[in-house]
Structure 1
């Protein structure tokens, strides 16, 4: 398992254990923002030069952990497919892990 998958799965698992009150006080919004950023990075890798990035929809606070997991796994697969030198500037495993860790800190996880 890559460091990105480890970080994403850990964050998603912790989100799944949060009560509704914590999710509604910002953890779900933070998770959704992270999922959207990871998905955007994947799109930049898979569709270089695309005119517009599609935004991940808000599927609700109880789905956000799954959205984080899916977006993180998609990004890990995209990075694996293009290799370290094929990703756009600023997009890589270390940068993605840092994003996930920062989101976890902001959520108090």
Structure 2
């Protein structure tokens, strides 16, 4: 099985930083970065689990909820990668970790 702990840790760090960020920073773009990432991670999990290229879009539930949305999407993707069939998923895992780190840097939190 694939070790997804690096992805989970990166998502948890970013979500924690979003939770601790002041409202003004969230409104200036940090929450939008978190939501965009959550949507991307959720879509990737959906693709792995269903094989479908499109899935339901994660709603914008507000700046104070985005950390939880990110955590759920990241955890879902980690579990999808961990339990996926034997198709090599290391590249997808590395890409997801990179996406999380880049979004966190752009968010400035």
For the pair 1:82 / 2:84, whether they are aligned, the reply is yes
- Structure with a larger share of its residues in helix: 2
CA distance in 1, matches of 2:45, 2:26: 25
Residue 26 of structure 1 and its aligned partner are, at CA, apart by 0.3
Find the residue that maps to 2:82 and give its secondary structure: helix
Partner of 1:105: 105
For the pair 1:21 / 2:24, whether they are aligned, the reply is yes
Structure 2 length as normaliser, TM-score?
Answer: 0.89
Aligned-CA RMSD value: 1.8
Q: Are 1:41 and 1:91, in contact at CA under 8 Å, matched by a contact in 2?
A: no
1:19–1:47 Cα change, 3 Å = same
Q: Which runs of 5+ in 1 are unaligned?
A: none
